[in-house]
Amino acid sequence: MGKIKIWVDEAGRWPWLWSVVACALCFNPENKPDKEFLKKITDSKKILKKNREQLYNKLIEFSRWDNPKVFFGVWVVDNYLIDEINIKEANKESMRRALVELFRKIPIDDIDSILIDWNDNYKFDELKKQAIFIIKWDSKILEIWAASIIAKVFRDKLMLTYSSLYPDLNLENHKWYGTKKHIEYLSSKNKITWIHRLTYKPIQKLLEQKPKLLLHVCCWPDATIPIVDLKDKYEIIWFWYDPNIQPKKEYDKRLDNFKKVCEIEKIDYIVWVYDIKNFFDEIKGLENTPEKWEKCTKCYDMRLKKTAELAIELWIKEWTTTLNISPHKDLDKMFKIGDKYSLKNNLEFLKIAFRKNGGFERSVDYTKKYNIYRQNYCGCIYSDTYPWGRIILNNN
């Protein structure tokens, strides 16, 4: 066999998913493929998928003959090793192992040179004479095109086996790069699969993202300790909703102070409508029941139901309420209502008793520190502590 030049190329260096595949290839100098076939080979990126697969099948067939027309070695390095040693080193390892496979098929003494597209300048211990690195030859060299076809089609076929596991990932179409469709799929870290490369910046950034928490708030003092205790663990979105703060000027005052602290803590928030009429409709017939009884239960239920509905709309799984800090609230009832809407809607209600570990006292300290208004009644006109007695005020 005459002197042989080996050409090496890879597929999968830049995608965000799974393996890198290298192919080392040479044509048999004493039994080359016919010219008609060689004319069909060109840059794999410029060939239609159907034609590329036909060429791949033919190259594999040529390699199986007793006197092969094509010699090749191929190797796969998966995403786990890529994450462990980085893509450049993983690419080197795939090329090294592809060369080792090819060396079993041809005499090493017959090798004239090994040429690799790109400029990584890897050193391979198995080589007496180090490889030559060339840039942009993948658009000029027949053997590079053939190696690229084998590496790419082999990788594509393996990747498509995962499409049944992750149909929403659209593996058939976006080619596993950072396309718009891929980015849209990666809406949360829950969408990251075991074949993603976790050290790639877009995936890494997603992994470092805090989970979102929808936190119901109906007066600012109650929200102090929940935000202090949870802001390092969660990306918190505050949901201001209280259909039962009276009179209206009191509601506005509390809301203004809530917005003030949102600025201090730099927290995103959503404000719902002041639907006091809905509250009166819900508690009709229960007006004179004692505090913490049916009337209050209805009030809790209204707030938590609306919060759960918003969590579903925003695709936020975890949620809770700042009502859990008040020593005047019935935690057992609150937790049962939270569970009711969580189980119904596949959500997770955080059963945190914020009042524990001096939570209420710490909230008092916080409001003093930042000069935040602190009310002296819950807001309900039926409360025993309502300043003006049990009269229904004009809320306009």
Q: What is the pLDDT of residues 359-370, one digit of tens each?
A: 778 878 888 888
Residue 75's pLDDT is what? 97
Average pLDDT over residues 87-103: 95
Average pLDDT over residues 212-238: 85
Of 41-45, 101-105, 343-347, which gets the smallest average pLDDT? Answer: 41-45
CATH architecture of 212-369: 3-Layer(aba) Sandwich (3.40)
The segment(s) of the chain belonging to CATH 3.30.420.10 are 4-160
Integer distance in angstroms from the first to the last C-alpha of the chain? 98
Contacts within 8 Å (CB) and 24+ apart, 107-114: 107/1, 110/1, 110/2, 110/3, 110/4, 111/3, 111/4, 111/5, 111/6, 112/3, 112/4, 112/5, 113/5, 113/6, 114/5, 114/6, 114/7, 114/8, 114/24
Give the integer Cα–Cα distance in Å for 96 and 99: 5
Residue 99's pLDDT is what? 94
Instruction: Judge whether residue 393 has pLDDT over 50.
Output: no
Give the integer Cα–Cα distance in Å for 2 and 212: 65
CATH number 3.30.420.10 given to 4-160: yes
Asked whether 366 and 372 are in contact (CB, 8 A), the reply is yes
> Which residues, other chains included, contact 348 with Cβ-Cβ below 8 Å and sequence gap of 6+?
317, 318, 319, 342
Residue 385's pLDDT is what? 81
Pick the residue with more confidence: 128 or 380? Answer: 380
Of the candidates 40, 65, 50, 5, the residue with the CA atom closest to the CA atom of residue 146? 40
Residue 207's pLDDT is what? 87
Question: pLDDT for 47-93, tens place per residue?
Answer: 888 999 999 999 999 999 889 999 999 999 999 999 999 999 999 99
Question: pLDDT for 112-171, tens place per residue?
Answer: 889 897 788 899 888 878 888 887 655 578 899 999 999 999 999 988 888 888 888 888
- Whether the CA torsion 138, 142, 146, 149 is positive or negative: it is positive
Instruction: Judge whether residue 195 has pLDDT over 70.
Output: yes
Average pLDDT over residues 305-331: 88
**What single string gives the DSSP state of each residue in 107-126?**
-GGGEEEEEEESS-----TT
3-state helix, strand, coil in the chain (%, to 5): 45, 15, 40
Instruction: Judge whether residue 395 has pLDDT over 50.
Output: no
> Binning pLDDT at 50, 70 and 90, where does residue 332 land?
confident
Instruction: Judge whether residue 239 has pLDDT over 80.
Output: yes
| Type of residue at 256 | D
Q: If you search the block for the tokens 């959503």, which residue do you land on?
A: 270
Asked whether 18 and 12 are in contact (CB, 8 A), the reply is yes
Residues facing 215 on adjacent strands: 238, 320
- Residue 127 in tokens: 């080589």
Of the candidates 115, 102, 95, the residue with the CA atom closest to the CA atom of residue 22? 95
Average pLDDT, the chain: 87
The segment(s) of the chain belonging to CATH 3.40.50.620 are 212-369
Instruction: Judge whether residue 28 has pLDDT over 70.
Output: yes
Residue 33's pLDDT is what? 92
**Percent of the chain at pLDDT above 90?**
41
Average pLDDT over residues 378-392: 76
Give the integer Cα–Cα distance in Å for 226 and 233: 11
State residue 169 phi and psi, 5-degree precision.
-75, -15
